[in-house]
Each structure stands twice: as structure tokens, then as C-alpha cells.
Chain A
Amino acid sequence: MSVPEVLLAAEDIRVELGGVAVLELPSFALHESEVLSVVGPNGSGKSTLLLTLACLLRPSAGHISYRGNVLVSHDAVFRFRRRISMVFQEPLLFDTTVYKNVASGLRIRGLSRNETRDRVAKYLKCFHCEHLAQRSARKLSGGESQRISLARAFAVEPEILLLDEPFSALDPPTRHSLMHDLEAMVRETKTTTIMVTHLESEALSMSSRILVLNEGRVVQTGTPSQVMSRPSNQFVARFVGMENILEGRVISRERDGLSVAVSGRVLHSAGDAQPDEIIECCIRPENVTIDNPDAAGAGNTNRFSGTVTHIYSSGPFVKVSLDCGFHLTALVTREAFSDLRLSEGTQVSASFRPSSVHVIRRSKAELERLKS
């Protein structure tokens, strides 16, 4: 299998705003046909990264290159921008008809009338908006507007598609149907895509790689499953929904994993670390099972008795906080919740598999900091 070509690369990028660095990117590469999600909390520099990569924001240091050519001259930047497309959180449609909106990128490029008509028709159809062609772009719903914005971006058949939180302003059903169509389009056209989002579900569903940003720096990059199950630090762990992060000391290292002392109790993990090392044990709340203290399975590994301290409703689930000597959160279905007759103060036992316990080892820098 040949290695896909690097389409877009960045080196030593530093973006400052009012003298404060808002983005630092020592190196970055985007491969052909890759779908990259950039995630991170608000203000982590995601949009800045996207604008910088689109050459819409000039970094105070560093440079961007496209297919190995450094984008410096005005002309090179301009030609590069004709190969990309961008969709923002707001649809930013022009005050004219839907048709002319979708055609705008093509008109800018001077395409012939016939070609424009065909392309507009094609992409309006892809996003199920043929019937809107002659409507004013000012009189569309939020979902329709964003569909037109996507159709406009696809109409120029870009080599790279840049999406800046395109669905954040939409309600969940609209978001899902639009996500679905976008995913299909990206897969079908094999368009290289970068999508900025603060919603992990968006990032999970369509991307081949995830890049996590925090405070202007890349904290982890990897496939969705890598990032989701093996976050490289506490921040990513919390961000991808590993609510249980327990600090512990490795007691012993066995063939199939570790024994870790956490608040006087012993946890088993399938992870790896050195004995006596201080580590973080991360467990997703959905991987924690709750049952009656006298239920079968007593004596299993990682089975702890505890008391319910808090109960929160969480959509179709119920989130239960437990005190097992350490603090543990579990996610249970509403059915299980009523079967178990849970309420604050109820005695339960909680269990999770050793393979559900992800170990985060402290980085050298962190260790240094702790020592001093």
C-alpha cells in the first residue's frame, strides 16, 4: 500500500493575538483523503488553526505548504485558496437566491453558464435542496441555510474542505440528518477534510484522525478509537468522556496487567507501568456496572461495594455517583436504575473490567514539575 501524499503541511506555526500566543504548532501534516477532526474546548485555538491553514490568517511565525510548495507569495496563496472550500458555523449566505449562492464560487472562478448550471443542480441535489433554488437565501431555516452553505462549498469541488463547527448552531435532529449527508458526500467524493468541532460525537463518526487542542497546543493526535480509549493525558481523558480519573500507585506488574492501590483499595488494570509509579486510572462511566451487593459475582476482580451519593438524569441514562472509598461515576439505563431501586444512600456494588481501566502515565515534564 502506497503512503498517501501530504497535501497540506505546517511548520513552526505561531499565531499571536495582542502579543499573546493563541496557537503554537511545531508541525502538522494533512494527507490526501484524510478526514481530520480538530477538537478541544472553546478558546483552545481550533478556529485559529483552521483559518491559519486556509491562509486566511497570517501567522506571526512559521509557514504553510501545499503539496510541498511553501505558500508565501500573494499569488501562491490565492491559487491555493481556489483549491479549498470553507464552511463556518454561521451559514454566511449572500443576500440573493439559493441558486446564485451555490453558484458564487463557480462565478468567481469564471465557469461557463452551462457548466455552472449543471454543477449547481448536482450539488443542490446532493444536499436535497433542489426545490429551494429560486428562494431567497434570507428566508431559509437554519438547517436549510447550512445545507446551502455546504452545497456552495462542494460546488467548487475543492481538494480540501475546511469546516469550522458547521453544526454547532443546529438542533440535534437537524444536526444528525445534515451530518449524515455530509458524511456520505465526503466519503463519496473522497474529499480531504478538516473539521473543527467541540462535540466528540461529530468527531467520532466520520473522521479518520482526531487532533486534540488545548490552550493553543496539540495535546494528542490519533485515530478516533485511540483517542477515545487511550487518551494520552488527563485533559484528553476528561474531554473524551472518561469521567473517572483516579490517581494511584502501582503495587505490582503482572503478565496480564497491573495492580494499583487507589485510596486504600486495589484496582486491576490491563495497562502498563512500572511498579511504584504514580499513574492515573481512567474509566468511562458507561463501563461501570452497578448491581445489588449480594448479587452473584462477588469476589470478581474490580468489584467494590459503595454508597450512592448523587443521582443525575442524563438523557436516556442516569448518572450515579458512588463512594467506594474513592469517587466513582457510573452510567446506567433508566430500566436498570428502576430495577435496582437506587436512591441516595443505597448500598450497591460496582464493577468494571480490567481492560476498561486506561492508564495514563505522567509525562517527564509533569514529573519534573511535581518534583520541584
Chain B
Amino acid sequence: MLFRKSPDFALVLFLILISGALSVTPAQQKKSIILATTTSTEDSGLLDVLIPVFERSSGYIVKTISVGSGQALKMGEKGEADVLLSHSPDAERRLVERGFAINRRVVMHNDFVIVGPSADPAGIRNSGSAAEAFSSIARQKALFYSRSDSSGTHALEMKLWQSAGVNPEGEPWYRQTGLGMGQTLNVTAEKKGYTLSDRGTYLSLKRTLGLDTLFEGDPQLLNIYHVMEVNPARWPGVNHTGAKAFADFMVSKEAQKIIRTFGVEKFGSALFFPDAGRKDMERF
């Protein structure tokens, strides 16, 4: 009689409240695109400019998930994203070869720079190549901060260590942050170490960092961004129309013009160089 439980009460409340939760999400769900991209594009602020332009002209809502390039490509591979924007050419090509992504097109590039304290304790300023700069750092056991987050930047860094013939893994001067580019730069500045950064992120943070560009200009340091659509044949659930619209937009004249001028006003020079349609970039 009086000790009967009332699960009905809890259940009713639960259902009412859950439906309340669902009602918060706007109804135009279906018209959204999930863009998996690298932290560098997000942190530089470029997407904050590009995406509203695209959303206005196309009517799509872009959900930007900014993670390391490695994770972004993984999301594409698993069909959790519709369109990918990344800078890890080797991994991207493999993804296309395995049939998970299609229509890979070059969007833009900037380059990587090796930054460090202006005192340059490892003396890399006059190195002949990026690999040489890296081996100087290793020789001098100067502090080096690695993102170690399977991002495009990390992938390139590993490649450079390989060319320098150094295995930094486990060395006391080799520190792994596991963080995004911006935060890794902050840590590097704080500890007066060296790191490899894309120019865009570095420039956007430069005024607060106190780190100098110590090495640049090696063709190996090119940082090339490609856009790809996730293969709808592999993952029927993806929003391919939207993905294609976004990819087309990224290589369109309008977007390319925005990329060319982005950052000029604020940093004195552009952060990215538009490359859409350039035949000579096809080798990447």
C-alpha cells in the first residue's frame, strides 16, 4: 500500500525534460555540414572570416571541428565528417587512395618556420636546410617542443627529424606538449625553447610571444592545405552536396581573394597564399 514505488513519476519527468533538451537544437539540422579541420586554420582566425561568407551564400551551416590533421582525417575515414581541410599531404593521399576521400584539391599554402628565442642558443640561424637546423638543435641539446598530436605539423616535424638522422624520442631536451599549435607556441615562449610552427599561427600570436623566426625558406617547410570531400559511396550518411558546395567555395575566386588578403591589415603580411588551380602544386 504505502511503500509502493513510483517510477512512473521519474519516467514522466525524464521524458518531459529530454524533449526540452532536444528542442534547444534548431530545426535546420539537415542543412549542416561537418568540417573537420586543423587547429591552425581555426586558430589563425581565417575560418571565422570564410565560413560566414559561405553560410550566407549557400544557406548551409558549417560545424567546424578543429582538431589535429591526423584526427581530422580519421573523422573523414570514419564518416563522421562531410568535408576535410588539412595540411598533411602524405596522409591525405593515402586516404584518397584507400577510397575514403574524393576530389582532393589544393586550397592554399603558407610555410612552416622554426622559431625560438632570439639568443638562438643552438645557432640555427644560418643553417643550410631545415634538417641541418634540426640536427644543430639535437647536437646542442636545446629545448625543443613538439606538438606530438599527430597533426600535420607533427607529421612534418617527424619527417624533418628523419632527414636530420636524429631520433629525439625520449631525449631530455625533447618535450612533447600534446597541445594545439597556439598553446605549444605559448609553452615554447615561456620555456625559451624551439618549435616548428606554421607561419599563420605564429604571426597571429607573435606580439605576445617574444619568439623569433630563426629559420625559414626551405622547400621542405611548405605547408599546403587541401580540401577533400568524404566519399559518399563509402559513407552514404554524409552530406555530400553540402561538402561539395563547401569544397567548391574554398577554391572559388571569392574565397581565394579573401585568403590572399587575410591578415594583411593586422600582421602586415598575408598568413596564407591562395593556390587553387595551380598545376605546379600537384606534386604534393
Contact = CB atoms under 8 A, between A and B. Distances in A.
Let me know if chains A and B touch directly in the complex, using CB atoms closer than 8 Å.
yes
Interface of A: 55-56, 58, 73-74, 77
B1 interface: yes
Contacts, number: 12
Given A55-B2, A74-B1, 10 more contacts: A55-B1, A56-B2, A58-B1, A58-B2, A58-B3, A73-B1, A74-B2, A74-B4, A77-B1, A77-B2
A7 B2 CA distance: 22
A138 B3 CA distance: 29
B4 to A, nearest CB: 8
A75 to B, nearest CB: 9
A56 B1 CA distance: 10
A96 B139 CA distance: 77
Contacts of A74: 1-2, 4
Contacts of B2: 55-56, 58, 74, 77
Nearest to A72: B1
A224 B4 CA distance: 41
Contacts of B1: 55, 58, 73-74, 77
Nearest to B3: A58
* Chain A, interface SS category: loop
A58 B2 CA distance: 9
Interface residues of B, number: 4
B8 to A, nearest CB: 15
12 contacts: A55-B1, A55-B2, A56-B2, A58-B1, A58-B2, A58-B3, A73-B1, A74-B1, A74-B2, A74-B4, A77-B1, A77-B2
A6 to B, nearest CB: 23
A321 B79 CA distance: 96
B113 to A, nearest CB: 67
A58 B4 CA distance: 12
A132 B2 CA distance: 34
Nearest to B1: A74
A55 B2 CA distance: 9
A77 B1 CA distance: 8
Contacts of A73: 1
A309 to B, nearest CB: 55
Nearest to B4: A74
A353 to B, nearest CB: 54
B6 to A, nearest CB: 12
Contacts of B3: 58
Interface string B2-27: 11100000000000000000000000
Interface in B201-224: none
Contacts of A77: 1-2
5 smallest beta-carbon distances between A and B, as pairs: A74-B1, A77-B1, A58-B1, A77-B2, A58-B3
Nearest to A77: B1
A73 B3 CA distance: 13
Nearest to A71: B1
A348 to B, nearest CB: 61
A58 B3 CA distance: 9
Interface in B1-59: 1-4
Contacts of A56: 2
Nearest to A73: B1
